[in-house]
Amino acid sequence: MNVTGFSRYLGPAQMFYLCYNWRINHKVAMLATSRFLATKIELVTEMSIQTFNSGFKFRIYPNTTQRQALAVNFGHARFVYNRYLTHRSATYQQTGKGLSYNECAGDLVLLKKDPNFVWLKDAYSQVLQQSLKDLDRAFGRFFKNLGKYPRFKNKHGKQTARFSQGFKLAEKQLYLPKAGWVKTKVHRELWGQAKSITVSKTKAGKYFASILCEWSQEQPKPIQGGVGIDLGLTHFAILSTGEKIDNPRNLRRSMRRLKIRQRRLSRKEKGSANRIKARLAVSATHERIANQRKDFHHKVSHTLARSFGTIKIEDLHISGMLKNHNLAQAISDAGWNQFITFLSYKVEWENGHLEKVDRWFASSKTCSVCGWKNHELKLHQREWTCQACGAIHDRDVNAAQNILSYELPMEHREVTPVRDDQPVGSQGRKPCTFRSG
Ligand SMILES: [Zn+2]
């Protein structure tokens, strides 16, 4: 009898039990079970499909009426968020336990029936519910120690409203409930299935729609080769291959313009129309800098994730480094955290492997050839010669090479199988399909 033929429908324990009951002796049962397990693992690795979420952000241009409709949604969503944040905080202080999403949602239904709060119905009902879900997620992150305690939303900050239903995307337009068809600049192709749309208005008054799409792909074959990355300020990143990526220093470059605009703002009378205008100009400069930085991070992380299967990077203690006031601005301008976030999800798409290397590991002072430690190395020395083996090192490239060869202690290591075929990348993503709203 072909025992493994059955195995597709059974778990390993059942399999073993069956064999045992059939009075096949113990050894055969073990063998069949292990063979079954092997085929099962093979099946899994062959057909492994992964699901990802990606956000696609487009600029939208609502007209005056649509802006008003969006403002209602923003405002009401913020009201709901803040109201239930207060409720949850109060309950947490009294009982030590927060309110659940369902309790809040139930309460919101009752609130909308209250004659004092009927105006809540002017907003799309899903937007208000999503606001509760966002709050719930913020609390979830806080309780898992992943985020700070949720903060109140402010009407002067960035405004957002999330639509999980009722939206449609046409060629150059986006349909949003309560606002209608909004002119949209679809500047790139999107893929996967759209799950929700977050509409936002930045401080500078620009509107965006961020479309969250779920897509899946067959796990691509991992790319061969690894790289160590040393992050710095003179150069943004130094690779173990010897390549140095320049730091664009977007903030420093725009500093003059920013200062002029900030000075203009400070001279304007409070509450005046000119002050509002000046504030918009300052916000626009900040947004421009943030966009340039984001663009740079996307490009570098994309290239790295597509070129190397294993990427090792220093685990930076950024909040600690920011306490050094001389460097704080330059460090936040480099935006390493954002870069590492981008890199980590892009590596995941490519089925690669990102490792963070212990930050106390002396990567600059160790000779990457023989392991000798140069305790005398000063910060200004950009080049040094190993006294044990005579190798001449570029300080940063040597550090990156050490990061690459650094081995994590066994208990922290994840094993990723490496295959020797050609890299596949993440081609073959399906174009976006929208649920009819
Ligand atoms: Zn050496």
What's the 250 CA to ligand 1 centre distance in angstroms? 37
Greatest mean pLDDT among 172-186, 305-319, 371-385: 172-186
What's the 385 CA to ligand 1 centre distance in angstroms? 8
What's the 368 CA to ligand 1 centre distance in angstroms? 7
- Average pLDDT over every residue of 369-395: 88
- Average pLDDT over every residue of 302-329: 82
Q: Name which of 299, 279, 282, 152 is nearest 236 in CA terms.
A: 299
Condensed to tens digits (0 to 9), the pLDDT of residues 188-215 reads: 888 888 999 999 999 999 999 999 999 8
Residue 396 bears catalytic tag = yes
CATH number for domain 226-246+290-412, candidates 2.60.40, 3.40.50, 1.10.10, 3.30.420? 3.30.420
Average pLDDT, the chain: 81
Lowest-confidence segment of 103-112, 260-269, 311-320, 388-397 by average pLDDT: 311-320
pLDDT at 182 over 70: yes
What pLDDT sits at residue 38?
56
Rounded Cα gap, residues 245 and 249, in angstroms: 12
Condensed to tens digits (0 to 9), the pLDDT of residues 118-139 reads: 999 999 999 999 999 999 999 9
What's the 388 CA to ligand 1 centre distance in angstroms? 5
Regarding predicted confidence, which is higher, 96 or 40? 96
pLDDT at 390 over 60: yes
What's the 367 CA to ligand 1 centre distance in angstroms? 5
What's the 234 CA to ligand 1 centre distance in angstroms? 25
Condensed to tens digits (0 to 9), the pLDDT of residues 221-242 reads: 888 889 999 888 888 899 999 9
Rounded Cα gap, residues 249 and 337, in angstroms: 15
What pLDDT sits at residue 222?
83
Q: Name which of 436, 6, 426 is nearest 216 in CA terms.
A: 426
What pLDDT sits at residue 327?
77
Amino acid identity for residue 48 in this structure: S
Tokens for 253, please give them: 């470059």
Q: 1 falls in which pLDDT band (50, 70, 90)?
A: very low
To 5 degrees, how large is the angle CA 56–CA 79–CA 99? 90
pLDDT at 101 over 90: yes
Condensed to tens digits (0 to 9), the pLDDT of residues 57-67 reads: 999 999 999 99
| C-alpha 99, offset from chain centre | 27
Rounded Cα gap, residues 390 and 360, in angstroms: 25
CB 104 within 8 A of CB 88: yes
Condensed to tens digits (0 to 9), the pLDDT of residues 140-154 reads: 988 888 888 999 999
β-pair type (226-231, 235-239): antiparallel
What's the 235 CA to ligand 1 centre distance in angstroms? 24
Q: What residues form DSSP beta bridges with 57?
A: 210
What's the 377 CA to ligand 1 centre distance in angstroms? 14
What's the 115 CA to ligand 1 centre distance in angstroms? 79
What pLDDT sits at residue 411?
52
What's the 392 CA to ligand 1 centre distance in angstroms? 8
What is the SS3 assignment for the chain? CCHHHHHCCCCHHHHHHHHHHCCCCHHHHHHHHHHHHHHHHHHHHHHCEEEEEEEEEEEEECCHHHHHHHHHHHHHHHHHHHHHHHHHHHHHHHHCCCCCHHHHHHHHHHHHHCHHHHHHHHCCHHHHHHHHHHHHHHHHHHHCCCCCCCCCCCCCCCEEEEECCCCEECCCEEEECCCEEEEEECCCCCECEEEEEEEEECCCCCEEEEEEEEEEEECCCCCCCEEEEEECCCEEEEECCCCEEECCCHHHHHHHHHHHHHHHHHHCCCCCHHHHHHHHHHHHHHHHHHHHHHHHHHHHHHHHHHHCCEEEEECCCHHHHCCCHHHHHHHHHHCHHHHHHHHHHHHHHCCCEEEEECCCCCCCCECCCCCCECCCCCCCCCEEECCCCCCEEEHHHHHHHHHHHCCCCHHHCCCCCCCCCCCCCCCCCCECECCCC
pLDDT at 299 over 70: yes
Residue 236, CA distances (Å) to 229, 275, 293, 326 in order: 10, 37, 11, 18
CB atoms within 10 A of CB 262: 15
β-pair type (159-163, 193-201): antiparallel
In Å, the largest CA–CA distance within the chain is: 93
Residue 407 bears catalytic tag = no
CB 429 within 8 A of CB 215: yes
CB 197 within 8 A of CB 167: yes
What pLDDT sits at residue 153?
93
What's the 100 CA to ligand 1 centre distance in angstroms? 59
What's the 373 CA to ligand 1 centre distance in angstroms? 8
Of the residues 230, 333, 350, 355, only one is catalytic, namely 230
What's the 391 CA to ligand 1 centre distance in angstroms? 6
Residue with tokens 């790289």: 227
Q: Where are the domains of the chain?
A: 3-47, 53-218, 226-246+290-412
Lowest-confidence segment of 18-27, 375-384, 397-406 by average pLDDT: 18-27
Of the residues 134, 136, 314, 355, only one is catalytic, namely 314
Residue 46 bears catalytic tag = no
Residue with tokens 């710095």: 232
What pLDDT sits at residue 409?
58
Rounded Cα gap, residues 38 and 292, in angstroms: 49
What pLDDT sits at residue 54?
87
Q: What residues form DSSP beta bridges with 173?
A: 183
CB atoms within 10 A of CB 75: 16
